[in-house]
DNA sequence: CTGAAAGCGCTTACAG
DNA sequence: CTGAAAGCGCTTACAG
């Protein structure tokens, strides 16, 4: 250890570097060591430190889809909550695909201080069996596995159903996501349930599923629209805004007038939804607070607190724009 | 080391786990160790391994703006090139902000096998002084620091100038990005130079700068448009599509007809650019190839090859859509 | 308050 | 082909 140039033992340097000097290092030595550290530009070796301590200062965020702009806000929330003590690293997979539990286990061999898992499905969590600090994001119904911060997407979904009903829609189509993530099941179930009570029919044959991709959604809509139109469908709800962009795109190509001929709505309220023409009606999800709460929870866990079955739920709400309402932008 | 249950030494297990058995482990022992590993679900501890070897199997990708959907494709290209031998971790910062060299130095204490740095500026690289395998992405003019994979954005920029000139525009405004990334300087310089030779004027007072954010761009445009309009500006070029979305949004609010009254174009060709209404004319940048080439280069470096001043340049090209051409979608 | 020593889990010459 | 041993850079009881 180079910083012994301060004329003290490695033990003392370690104490200083870790700020554990309270009543254990003389002011004199403290100053000498600090000077040496500054001078040499010494940085504690993360690997050696991690091995000795048993954990690193890394927090790993596992997520199936970082390409989603929604996610950038979640990340900045997490970073804010975690502060400078921990390094946030993203485990990325091909978009929409969840990593294999085996991959995560390999990540765990880096001894992260904590793990954040976004939008997991239950089989993934069951496979995982992780011991360290773990917080789930957007994992409805999975609070049994670990503390979770969830979004009440159901609330927004019901608002959306009410909005469409108020606009007079009676036959509605649904574009679902193929990923087996719980949140999509909740979005759909909540919307369908509320729609049913309001006299809106969402026929099984008016439901399609695609990956979370503009092109895929556009193609699916193109294939389905003739049937839907014939059946009197006047609105389509998409499980994500990304799907909705595909529908808007294809609708423009096909000359379908939005919202007069077809109303379109999505979930997520991505930044572009305010920009598209017409603006996209969407269920707004609080991305930054999601990251912030999850980061705060994980932090407490990493500091040794015991949080059993902690579950925070954040509200969602409908933002109405021109894609469902001729009056709006 | 638990897997000694195979009845061999830790050394032998290590050999097997690292696939270095060629002529060093008997078939008999090989089988026994493999069986034990499978049975116990043993995973080599990354920390211990890294400490002994001196490097980990982590590749860190440092980037100023992962919220950009463009980036998702870059990442998937990198992953594809890197394969299963390396774990890709993203170092995230607040969007648009580049990490401090000090932060990166702390990351380096994780002993990554390699480093990928996207869109750096030269002062960041000068501060960095990294020794291990390092590849730059989208770092025009910085090939002196490390092997780099660049995008020939200048080519697309010139095409854009030619396109606008052909459409008869003579007074054009420019919306730049505030981040000090080289690529933005190149985009602007190439566009301005070509525009000048084609008789297009881009007055200094018709240039604004904002962060890469739809809202910020919209606000800047709203403030500038009255002046621009008075001065006869008929087209605005944005340094990113994200800026252009803000312009489109605000133009709609202000009742400016696109492209008749104002033509709008951007750079990046993000997925949403095909979806907006009108579609956004944009300089297409090959995202996935960028990641793929950079990953391949880094891989060679990590395997010990020496690549001096390697520089790969990928082409850009203009995609014309309705925002600059009434005939297009 | 301070330092010598053990130990974290591995890998790699080295001797056999 | 195989195993005992040293060492990677740190941290943390422990003895002084």
> What is the tens place of the pLDDT at every residue in A213-231?
888 899 999 999 999 999 9
SS3 B185: helix
- CB-based contact, B306 to chain A, within 8 Å: no
Burial of residue A90 (number of CB atoms within 10 Å: 0-12, 13-18, 19+): buried
Split at pLDDT 50, 70, 90, the class of B305 is confident
Q: Given a cut of 80, is residue B219 above it in pLDDT?
A: yes
Residue B326 lies in a domain: no
Residues A146 and A292 in one domain: yes
Q: Is the CB of B26 under 7 A from strand D?
A: yes
Res B164: pLDDT: 97
Residues A277 and A157 in one domain: yes
Determine the Cα–Cα distance for residues B310 and A105; give it in Å rounded to an integer.
36
> What is the tens place of the pLDDT at every residue in A43-81?
888 899 999 998 998 999 988 777 677 887 898 899 889
Split at pLDDT 50, 70, 90, the class of B96 is low
Residues B184 and B266 in one domain: yes
CA dist list (Å): B109 to A9, A33, A83, A162, B193? 22, 20, 18, 54, 44
Sign of the torsion formed by the C-alpha atoms of B291, B293, B297 and B303: positive
Residue B319 lies in a domain: no
Split at pLDDT 50, 70, 90, the class of B90 is confident
Q: What is the mean pLDDT of chain B?
A: 89
Number of domains in chain A: 3
Determine the Cα–Cα distance for residues A216 and A247; give it in Å rounded to an integer.
10
Split at pLDDT 50, 70, 90, the class of B41 is confident
Q: What is the mean pLDDT of chain A?
A: 89
Which residue has tokens 């104490």?
Answer: A15
Residue B20 lies in a domain: yes
Res B38: pLDDT: 87
Q: Note the pTM of the prediction, 2 decimals.
A: 0.83
Q: Which two tokens stand for residue B131?
A: 């020794």
**Mean pLDDT over residues B3-29, rounded?**
85
Residue B323 lies in a domain: no
Nearest in space to B61 (alpha carbons), one of A288, A79, A92: A92
**What range does the domain containing A84 cover?**
53-150+287-314
> What is the tens place of the pLDDT at every residue in A163-213?
999 999 999 999 999 876 788 999 999 999 999 999 999 999 999 999 888
**Mean pLDDT over residues B272-280, rounded?**
82
Nearest in space to A72 (alpha carbons), one of B119, B96, B266: B96
Q: Which two tokens stand for residue B132?
A: 């291990």
Element (H, E) at B210: strand B207-210
Residues B131 and B181 in one domain: no
Split at pLDDT 50, 70, 90, the class of A96 is low
- CA-to-C1' distance for B18 and D2, Å? 17
Q: Among B3, B92, B257, which would you mutate to test the A interface (most chain A Cβ atoms within 10 Å of its Cβ)?
A: B92
Q: Report the relative pairing of strands B148-152 and B311-315 from DSSP bridges.
A: parallel
Res B157: pLDDT: 97
CA dist list (Å): A81 to A84, A289, A295, B65, B105? 9, 10, 5, 19, 22
Any alpha helices (H) in chain A, and if so which ranges?
Answer: 10-17, 27-40, 46-53, 69-82, 101-108, 122-128, 153-166, 182-197, 214-230, 241-254, 287-302
Residues A262 and A178 in one domain: yes
CB contact under 8 A, B276 and A271: no
**Mean pLDDT over residues B249-254, rounded?**
85
Residues A163 and A214 in one domain: yes
Nearest in space to B268 (alpha carbons), one of B165, B157, B178, B109: B157
Nearest chain B residue (CA) to A112: B47
Beta partners for B262?
none
Residue A240 lies in a domain: yes
């Amino acid at each position: 250890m180079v910083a012994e140039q301060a004329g003290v033992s490695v033990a003392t340097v370690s104490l200083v570097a870790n700020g554990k000097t309270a009543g254990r290092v003389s002011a004199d030595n403290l100053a000498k060591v600090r000077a040496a550290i500054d001078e040499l530009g010494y940085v504690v070796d993360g690997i050696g430190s991690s091995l000795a301590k048993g954990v690193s200062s890394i927090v790993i965020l596992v997520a199936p889809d970082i390409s989603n702009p929604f996610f950038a806000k979640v990340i900045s929330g997490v970073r804010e909550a975690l502060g400078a003590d921990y390094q946030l690293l993203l485990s990325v997979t091909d978009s929409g695909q969840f990593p294999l539990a085996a991959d995560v286990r390999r990540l765990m061999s880096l001894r992260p201080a904590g793990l954040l898992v976004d939008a997991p499905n239950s089989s993934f969590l069951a496979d995982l069996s992780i011991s360290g600090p773990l917080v789930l994001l957007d994992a409805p119904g999975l609070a049994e596995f670990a503390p979770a911060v969830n979004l009440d997407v159901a609330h927004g979904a019901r608002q959306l159903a009410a909005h469409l009903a108020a606009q007079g829609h009676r036959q509605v189509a649904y574009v679902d996501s193929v990923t087996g993530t719980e949140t999509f099941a909740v979005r759909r179930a909540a919307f369908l349930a509320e729609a049913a009570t309001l006299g809106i029919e969402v026929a099984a044959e008016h439901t399609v599923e695609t990956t979370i991709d503009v092109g895929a959604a556009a193609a699916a809509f193109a294939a389905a629209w003739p049937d839907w139109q014939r059946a009197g469908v006047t609105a389509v709800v998409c499980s994500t805004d990304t799907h909705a962009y595909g529908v808007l795109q294809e609708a423009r190509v096909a000359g379908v007038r939005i919202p007069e001929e077809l109303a379109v709505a999505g979930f997520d309220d991505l930044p572009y939804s305010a920009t598209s023409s017409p603006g996209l009606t969407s269920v707004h999800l609080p991305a930054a607070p999601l990251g912030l709460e999850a980061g705060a929870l994980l932090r407490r866990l990493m500091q040794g607190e015991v949080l059993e079955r902690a579950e925070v739920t954040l509200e969602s709400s409908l933002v109405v724009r021109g894609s469902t309402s001729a009056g709006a932008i």
